[in-house]
A = this chain, B = another copy of it.
Amino acid sequence: MYFYKEDLINMIVPDKPDPAAAKVLQEALGGQFGEMRTMMQYSFQSANFRGKDKQYRDLIRGVFLEEISHVELVQTTINQLLNGSGEVNDAGNSGPSQAPLADPVMHGNPHHYIMGAQASLPVDAGGNPWNGSWVYSHGNLISDLLNNVILESTGVLQKSRIYEMSSNKTFRETIAFLIVRDNAHQNAFAKALETLGVNWGKVFPIPNYDINKYPECRKYVEMGYHNAQFNFRLDSTRIGEIFTGESPSRDSGDLQVTDPPKGFPVPDLPEMPNEHSPGLNDLNQ
């Protein structure tokens, strides 16, 4: 069973609205290599796990638990990027009082304004809805672990590209945190394969990047987040049997299971009367 404390796993850094950034950040939420995919893939792999070597199940489930918080973090970041974007003026059209959404839907995702009240959706950067066929849970531990390595590696690779699409601080802080955590999860699954005999040589991290290039990443590296696995279990777990010892990556260091971050406040989303959201005003009078 699953329990909850109303805390975000990382902070939301304030900046201006940015509908185009919100649109591309959807890839990290509802895309083929986004957080909904990791969450559901590890949910199925841990529920479908066969056999007695449950330290591997505990590892997969441990990452699954963190991904639920990642989904919430990206949803919240997208909401922050969309908040107030309908007030942005639009010289080329007819002025904010007449068509305040004309401008944001130009470069943003129109569904953010039609299906959401300037809020996140379960779709990717192209607007395609999340799809269950992406989940890989074949029940063969090695193929499942290799697929997880690819999933996390592609997550970092895509985020290193999405990072270049806006310099908005709200956007980049969340991407940077997720890059570091995807890195840790890449290490987790690579390490699990090491316990089965693989020696990865110099291939990790994938992609072959200098994490110090991203100033927002640096503090998380200094906090050791790239080599930590947060433990969200209220009972005991065997995750530490695998997630221990030297990192499989050239970004060396020792892997260790730690407590989760202390938790960060969930920003309040203001009412949006123009969007009829939440739309309770007169009813409550």
Residues of chain A at the chain B interface (Cβ within 8 Å): 1-9, 20, 23-24, 27, 30-32, 36, 40, 43-44, 47-53, 56, 61, 65, 68-69, 71-72, 75-76, 79, 86, 93-94, 98-102, 105-107, 109-111, 113-133, 135-143, 146-147, 149-150, 153-154, 157-158, 160-162, 164-167, 193, 196-203, 206-209, 232-235, 260, 263, 268-272, 274-284
Contact = CB atoms under 8 A, between A and B. Distances in A.
Given A208-B283, A263-B1, A279-B208, A117 B98 contact: no
A138 B164 contact: no
A226 to B, nearest CB: 17
A278 B179 CA distance: 19
Contacts of A127: 126-128
A158 to B, nearest CB: 5
A68 B134 CA distance: 19
Nearest to A105: B165
Nearest to A268: B52
Contacts of A8: 1
A9 B202 CA distance: 38
Contact of A164 (B68, B99, B146, B281): B99
